[in-house]
Amino acid sequence: MFRAVGILWAQHALVPFPEVSTSERDKLVELNATIADCVSTYLRNNGTVGSGHRDTLHSCLRKLNTHLIHHFPSPFHDAFVYHHRLLKVTELLVNDAFPVRHREPG
């Protein structure tokens, strides 16, 4: 998954921040910057992030999901695509960096 995160992030980084509603802009810029910091750390550290990133990334996932659900359909098509890609990057990173450990039966 590390490679997939790197490829998707490289594609995402080439796209300028899209036009969004004025009321949402500051929140979305902050969310994007927070995720960018986590992804940069993950890529720089070959697929690991600090334990403090777990809560941050889970919070970002909730916020992105909420934004996408409440703003679909959107008059800002580019923003929807941009944030959907950001959601995908974040999901891949979380699943790779913090895999769910299944307990063996008794």
Q: Is residue 40 one of the residues assigned to a domain? A: yes
Q: Is residue 86 one of the residues assigned to a domain? A: yes
Domain count, the chain: 1
pLDDT of 101 over the 90 cut: no
3-state SS class at 34: helix
Q: Is residue 105 one of the residues assigned to a domain? A: no
Q: Is residue 104 one of the residues assigned to a domain? A: no
Tokens 């969310």 -> residue: 31
- The pLDDT score that the predictor gives to residue 102 is 63
Single-letter amino acid code for the residue at 8: L
- The pLDDT score that the predictor gives to residue 103 is 62
Alpha helices in the chain (DSSP H): 2-13, 22-44, 52-70, 77-97
Q: Which residues 6+ apart lie within 8 Å of 29 measured at CB?
A: 17
Q: Is residue 102 one of the residues assigned to a domain? A: no
Residue 60 corresponds to which tokens in the numbers above?
A: 């970002």
- Structural domain of 34: 2-16+23-97
What is the model's pTM? 0.88
**Whether the Cβ atoms of residue 63 and residue 71 lie closer than 8 Å to each other:** no
Q: Is residue 103 one of the residues assigned to a domain? A: no
**Whether the Cβ atoms of residue 90 and residue 57 lie closer than 8 Å to each other:** yes
Q: Is residue 12 one of the residues assigned to a domain? A: yes
Q: Is residue 49 one of the residues assigned to a domain? A: yes
2-53 pLDDT tens trace: 999 999 999 999 999 999 989 889 999 999 999 999 999 999 999 999 888 9
41-97 pLDDT tens trace: 999 999 999 888 999 999 999 999 998 888 767 788 899 899 999 999 999 999 998
